[in-house]
A and B are shown apart, each in its own frame.
Chain A
Amino acid sequence: MTTVVCRCEDITEDDILEAIRDGYREIEVIKRHLRLGMGPCQGKTCIPIIERIVARETGCKTQELDIPTARPPSRQVSFSLLAGDDRD
């Protein structure tokens, strides 16, 4: 059965296992190789799942893994809102 890990970019657990076998063994690098976590949710769903997969496959603890930096905006925001006048 196929397990989808990243819903935004349609990345499955098998894609991740294949990437790890190909030598992409860090979350930051797997992300860039597969575009995992690069969609509208910015990894809110998939990063905790991939942490567990990478920990399991590489024999690390999840706490030892580097995860992508959290960056603004925390939720997607339209340019019209961002470009709006200051109200203060």
Chain B
Amino acid sequence: MTVTESARAVIIGGGVNGTGIAYHLAKRGYTDVVVLEKGYLGCGASGRNGGGIRQQFSTKENIILAMESTRMFEKLPDELDTEIEFEQGGYLVLAFTDEEVEQFKKNVKLQNDLGLKSSFISAEEAREIVPELNISKVLAGTFNSTDGTIYPFPVIYGYARAARGMGVDIREHTTVTDIVTQGRTIRAVKTDRGTIETDTVVNAAGGWSAGIARMAGVELPNRPYRHEIMVTEPFKRFLEPMVISFQHGIYFSQSRHGNVVGGIGNPHEEQGINQRSSLWFMRTMAKTLTELVPRFSAVNMIRQWAGLYDTTPDAQPILGEVPEVERFFQVNGFSGHGFMVSPVVDKVTAELILGETPSMNIDGLSVTRFKGMDLEMEYSVVG
């Protein structure tokens, strides 16, 4: 049966941003909202990532977004009445090349100027933080103690439960098939289960965002790339911080349950929607991990999986409206660091939808920056 109905806003994507924006809108009394998710809530990158919450970035925009988001994550358990397992064991970032050492010095300077208490440390100091670390090839590092990890699902489910409680309609297993526009105005969103008339659409579809935008005649530069990840059996917790290396494209941390969760990027990964598992990943992860922490040799891997980075040319997100279509809000292109900036992104996006001046200026993250401008590249991307 096909039905036609209407809503003030339709949010496409039931991940952390889709549910989070619905939550922020509902809290402000804007509850005539439909969230559409083609699978189950959190089945995309929001539920496939390593749970890292990092503020150590190289661009001002990402540092500010991540710092404010971390403060918001700290309050989220009380706000949503849920346990999100936010462990602030810090992020230890390792440098393996002279270029990384120089870049990390610049990063820490900028981070400190913006109020983040990160520090540039020696290889020996890195080993004091993680005594099991093999520092034979480590040149230096950076550390920030308020970074950490989170369990993503209760955040998504917490937003969804609160939003639904306030009257938001969240529909799973519903696929968007078209966005109907007339001139520069949105008229409706078509799905496999009917049409919803609306003039406001949020594109929070992660790796599928460029495809969603195309339905409204908007071309985004984001492209999806698979990133693989794995988990070990649980064992006694000895690893406090998340450890990452941009040079190796690796990150790993140990959850409060004792499992080590980590991933490594394949520099030859082909663009496309692919969430299958590869043998290359399993072997490369094992080789790199045991080289960095030899003690891991005896540990068993129990599962590997994969998700999509929605990657932009400068590895920074695309937020706000687009020139071609009115009230078509973008919340995508997070390039592998979306969950960690989602609290402030969701709050600001809700403010934009409500027609308010946003509490944080995000003009620099508009899609228009890709038109012939010099891009400020985010270098601190893992994998």
Contact = CB atoms under 8 A, between A and B. Distances in A.
B299 interface: yes
A8 to B, nearest CB: 9
Contacts of A32: 42, 47, 153
A29 B40 contact: yes
A30 B322 CA distance: 38
A40 B186 CA distance: 49
Choose among A38, A69, A78 the residue with the greatest number of B CB atoms under 10 Å from its CB: A78
A72 B381 CA distance: 26
B289 A79 contact: yes
A63 interface: no
A82 B283 contact: yes
Contacts of B302: 39-40, 42, 73, 76
Given A33-B153, A73-B302, A23 B47 contact: no
A15 interface: no
B290 A80 contact: yes
Interface in B278-295: 279, 282-283, 285-287, 289-290
B300 A72 contact: no
B304 A78 contact: no
A21 to B, nearest CB: 13
A73 B283 CA distance: 11
A32 B154 CA distance: 9
B277 A29 contact: no
B133 to A, nearest CB: 15
A32 B234 CA distance: 16
B73 interface: no
Interface residues of B, number: 33
A73 B153 CA distance: 23
A61 interface: no
Interface in A60-88: 66, 69, 71-73, 76-80, 82-83
B42, B301, B304: most-surrounded residue (chain A CB, <10 A):
B301
A28 B277 contact: no
Interface string A15-37: 00000000110101100110100
Contact of A71 (B157, B277, B285, B300): B277
A83 B290 contact: yes
A72 B286 CA distance: 14
B174 to A, nearest CB: 14
B3 interface: no
B353 interface: no
Given A28-B40, A33-B153, A77 B301 contact: yes
A23 B172 CA distance: 13
A28 B42 CA distance: 10
Nearest to A29: B40
Contacts of B231: 38
A39 B233 CA distance: 7
Given A32-B47, A33-B153, A79-B286, A23 B257 contact: no
A73 B290 contact: no
A72 B153 contact: no
Interface in B1-59: 40-43, 47
A72 B282 contact: yes
A23 B160 CA distance: 11
B304 A77 contact: no
A69 B48 CA distance: 13
B96 interface: no
Contacts of B161: 23
6 contacts: A26-B172, A73-B303, A76-B233, A79-B296, A80-B298, A82-B301
Interface of B: 40-43, 47, 153-154, 157, 161, 172, 231, 233-234, 257, 277, 279, 282-283, 285-287, 289-290, 296-305
Given A23-B161, A29-B157, A82-B286, 10 more contacts: A26-B40, A69-B305, A73-B301, A76-B302, A79-B289, A79-B296, A79-B297, A79-B299, A79-B301, A82-B283
List of 4 A-B pairs having minimum Cβ-Cβ separation, nearest first: A82-B286, A76-B300, A80-B297, A83-B286
Interface of A: 23-24, 26, 28-29, 32-33, 35, 38-40, 42, 66, 69, 71-73, 76-80, 82-83
